[in-house]
Amino acid sequence: MLKKISVKHLKIGMFIHDFNMPWMKHPFLTNKKQLKSPKDLDILLNIGEGEVIIDTEKGGDSSHAYAIEEAQKEIDARLQEDIKNVKSSELGVDAESADAKGREVPFEEELRKAREIYSESRQLLKKLFEEVRLGVNIDGVRTRRTVENMIASIFRNRDALLSLARIKSFHEYTYQHCINVAVLSLNLGMHMGILQDELLYLGVGAVLHDIGKVLIPQALVDKPGPLEPGEYELVKTHAAHGARLVLQAASVPDECAAVALNHHERYNGAGYPRKLSGMEPGKFGLITGLADVYDAMTTNRSYQEGMQPHIALKKVYEWGGTLFHPIYVQKFIQCLGIYPVGSMVKLDSGEVGVVCRQNRDQILRPWVRVAMDVNGKPLIQPLDVDLRKPDKNDFKKFSKSIIETLDPRKVIISVDKLLEKESVEAPEEELKVVIG
Ligand SMILES: [Fe+2]
């Protein structure tokens, strides 16, 4: 039974169900705690006055404890208020101007810089993981600088870094996953109208979200196939290890530690380590949780084929309201598009290509990098086609449309190589000459 009680009336043996305060304000690792020693009590008394919620079925009771239902109602009201705040803050977001900020530099121009930023980030992550493994503190200053470069790139063009976040190789999975989660999170954060200072916290937290894995045996992290229950419990500790490592780092704000701790929490409370629910993981935890799952699902591992982006996105959509916050899922899909960058598609012209960037004003009509002509013959020079273009003979119709998504494993083109390749924008006539 849940009861509310003043901190000064707490006794050893009581079970704290909720500290009734943000996680960063108390020193305990989880929001639930069995009070076992006078030291636990001292720590709580030092935090100050106030009330916590105890569970009398799991621990001691007291005549000072009161109002079971009100206590639960209060938790629910707090969650509702949080959700309401997200909605009202969304009303204040000018999505168009946020998107406009990401269109200042043409895709091709930004892609060159984005490649450098991606490569620098990969080097940083590799060094960071090696150093932390040796017991050296996280280099907060370099991490912040790298994330600032990522943010600047995304502000110049939303799709350049995003198109590179498709790059995945077996050997560098962990580093690339951290960069990809940061790029996806920053894109979603920007789409939700998160401001620049907060974007920096989100990005640094996302880059470092899995740093706790350095303290897990490598063989377990890389284990091909499902984990035994005991192994899974061990892997789950990377969230708390990560939070501790981030808190120890100089020049890294505490908000970033919460990202490492909360990125495996789920909307319905089915996550770990604290089984938080609703808005409790905080907006950074919710954003990175989505980005983490989406990137992992779309990556080839030694034991599983990665899903195609649009199939992974469909899964994420199905999980809206259970594993993920429905509004965040909605924003994530708006941000990535119905056909995310990397989706292989067939056009009604018969040509085959890969979605290379979004048109956020028309998410069904992205840019497609055409790589095969109507006869299935690969083009020497890939051509970028804007599906928003009207038919030149009938301006009420579109020139080309997506008719189906294809399984890239059944097509001879490599999506990653195609996205990395230089391409040219195709005027209608030019495309016909090349195909003809
Ligand atoms: Fe993780």
Provide mean pLDDT across the span 406-413: 77
Range with lowest mean pLDDT among 15-29, 202-216, 240-254? 15-29
Taking the centre of ligand 1 as the mean of its atom positions, its distance from the CA of residue 408, in whole angstroms, is 27
For the cut 80, the answer to whether the pLDDT of residue 396 exceeds it is: no
Contact 265, 285 (CB under 8 A): yes
Residue for token pair 């020193």:
27
Torsion region of 419: left, alpha or beta (phi above 0 gives left; psi -120 to 50 gives alpha): alpha
Contact 97, 158 (CB under 8 A): no
For the cut 50, the answer to whether the pLDDT of residue 264 exceeds it is: yes
Band of residue 82 on the pLDDT scale cut at 50, 70, 90 = very low
Taking the centre of ligand 1 as the mean of its atom positions, its distance from the CA of residue 239, in whole angstroms, is 6
Range with lowest mean pLDDT among 57-66, 246-255, 316-325? 57-66
Taking the centre of ligand 1 as the mean of its atom positions, its distance from the CA of residue 263, in whole angstroms, is 6
Taking the centre of ligand 1 as the mean of its atom positions, its distance from the CA of residue 160, in whole angstroms, is 25
- The DSSP element (H or E) to which 76 belongs, if any, is helix 68-91
DSSP 389: P
CB neighbours of 215 closer than 8 A, spacing ≥ 6? 237, 238, 241, 245
Taking the centre of ligand 1 as the mean of its atom positions, its distance from the CA of residue 283, in whole angstroms, is 16
Taking the centre of ligand 1 as the mean of its atom positions, its distance from the CA of residue 366, in whole angstroms, is 31
Peptide bond into 273 cis (omega under 30): yes
Question: Tens of pLDDT along 267-294?
Answer: 999 999 999 999 999 999 999 999 999 9
Band of residue 434 on the pLDDT scale cut at 50, 70, 90 = very low
What is the residue-wise DSSP string for 242-270? Answer: HHHHHHHSTT--HHHHHHHHHTT--TTS-
Taking the centre of ligand 1 as the mean of its atom positions, its distance from the CA of residue 253, in whole angstroms, is 19
Residue percentage of the chain with pLDDT more than 70: 83
Taking the centre of ligand 1 as the mean of its atom positions, its distance from the CA of residue 178, in whole angstroms, is 9
Taking the centre of ligand 1 as the mean of its atom positions, its distance from the CA of residue 23, in whole angstroms, is 19
Taking the centre of ligand 1 as the mean of its atom positions, its distance from the CA of residue 265, in whole angstroms, is 10
Taking the centre of ligand 1 as the mean of its atom positions, its distance from the CA of residue 259, in whole angstroms, is 10
Taking the centre of ligand 1 as the mean of its atom positions, its distance from the CA of residue 193, in whole angstroms, is 25
Neighbours of ion ligand 1 (CB under 5 A): 210
Taking the centre of ligand 1 as the mean of its atom positions, its distance from the CA of residue 8, in whole angstroms, is 37
Record the tokens describing residue 415, joined without a space: 């999506």
**Spacing of C-alpha 270 from chain mean position:** 18
Neighbours of 94 (CB within 10 A): 10
Taking the centre of ligand 1 as the mean of its atom positions, its distance from the CA of residue 411, in whole angstroms, is 32
Taking the centre of ligand 1 as the mean of its atom positions, its distance from the CA of residue 360, in whole angstroms, is 29
Helix (H, G, I), strand (E, B) or coil at 57: coil
Predicted TM-score of the model (pTM): 0.72
Taking the centre of ligand 1 as the mean of its atom positions, its distance from the CA of residue 296, in whole angstroms, is 10
Taking the centre of ligand 1 as the mean of its atom positions, its distance from the CA of residue 316, in whole angstroms, is 17
Taking the centre of ligand 1 as the mean of its atom positions, its distance from the CA of residue 260, in whole angstroms, is 8
For the cut 50, the answer to whether the pLDDT of residue 252 exceeds it is: yes
pLDDT score for 344: 87
**Spacing of C-alpha 58 from chain mean position:** 35
For the cut 80, the answer to whether the pLDDT of residue 302 exceeds it is: no
Taking the centre of ligand 1 as the mean of its atom positions, its distance from the CA of residue 129, in whole angstroms, is 14
Q: Average pLDDT, whole number, for the chain? A: 82
